Amino acid sequence: MYRFGLGVVAAFAVLGVITARASAPTLLKVDGSPGAMPLVAALAAAHEAKTSTVRVEIGKGMGTRERIEAPMARR
């Protein structure tokens, strides 16, 4: 059983909304815990295979402090 972080679940919930509304290609940037990146990469690849309206860009991963500060800095 996988335990998903709230950030990963929220990112793909947003991805679904963006996909439903997108008419031109949209870029979704995802970053966060390095431990979640393999799962995020697999989900992004599967989603991109189904739709051409959203391109997912995956960051290098962030440390704890960076993940906490990123929403306030809009990164």
Domain with residue 38: its CATH number is 3.40.190.10
DSSP character for 21? H
How many domains does the chain divide into?
Answer: 1
Q: What pLDDT shows up at residue 1?
A: 44
DSSP character for 25? -
Q: What pLDDT shows up at residue 2?
A: 47
Q: What pLDDT shows up at residue 39?
A: 92
Question: What confidence tens digit (pLDDT) does each residue in 34-68 have?
Answer: 888 899 899 999 988 988 888 888 888 888 888 78
Within a domain: 49:
yes
Three-point CA angle 75, 57, 27, nearest 5°: 80
- pTM across the whole model: 0.53
Q: What pLDDT shows up at residue 12?
A: 61
